[in-house]
Amino acid sequence: MKNIISKLDFTEIFDHYNVRIDVHRKINDDLQELIDIENGEKTRFEFKRKQFVNYILGLVDIDAGYTANSVKRLGCGGPAILSENPQAYKQVYELEKYLKTTSPLDIPNKIKGIRISYLGLGIGSEMACLLRPNICWVTNRRTYWIKLLFDRENISYANEMTKSQSEIALKVWHIDHPIVGAKLKDLVGEVDPALLPSNLDQYFYLFADCIATSLYDYFYE
């Protein structure tokens, strides 16, 4: 695995990492502002809530909703969430508040139970990770590819399994969400210690996600 990671450009990874840290801070600040004004003037709150949800679904900034953006070409993602759920702004906001405090292991069942059309574990787990990157991880196509890569340390196997699992991906991701988190921790453990950021403890899974994204983009075909 170390040989595979050595092919990556860590300058690009750190650029991506720092951008995502900025997004994490903005999301937390904006969410707290919304919570503070929730019982105040209704029109102002709803306007701010709409701006916030558009942002976390990646409709304003791709880096705030990478997974949601990646599935837009399939007719999913932010536009589909907003058009197919009459109470989308309220539902997504309430989910975000829940993700702020829940256990990472409860996230798959909550997302399944809340029934927001087109908002699956990929988008929901990224929302959680951007809120609490020290304990919450992303389970999406890219990070599940990492799990498959660790299964055999074989790039061809990971690529083929990723292609063949497209139709059952959501069920598999829900089951394997804890395993993906463990494999992302293993992934960071394979990085040269000299390349680890000094603030890793605060943003562990953002860093893991940046490495996973870079590996997937480099090797998946």
Q: Which residues are CB-neighbours of 36 under 8 A, at least 6 positions away?
A: none
The per-residue b/e assignment along 25-56, b for 16 or more CB within 10 angstroms, e otherwise, is ebbeebbeebeeeeeeeeeebeebbeebbbbb
Q: How far is residue 116's CA from residue 89's CA, in Å, rounded to a whole number?
A: 11
Domain containing residue 176: 2-219
Model pLDDT for residues 116-129, shown as the tens digit of each residue: 999 999 999 999 99
Q: Where are the beta strands (DSSP E) in the chain?
A: none
Residue from 20, 78, 70, 23 nearest 50 by CA: 78
What's the predicted TM-score (pTM) here? 0.94
What share of the chain in percent tops pLDDT 70? 96
Give the pLDDT confidence score for residue 76 in this predicted structure: 79
Structural domain count of the chain: 1
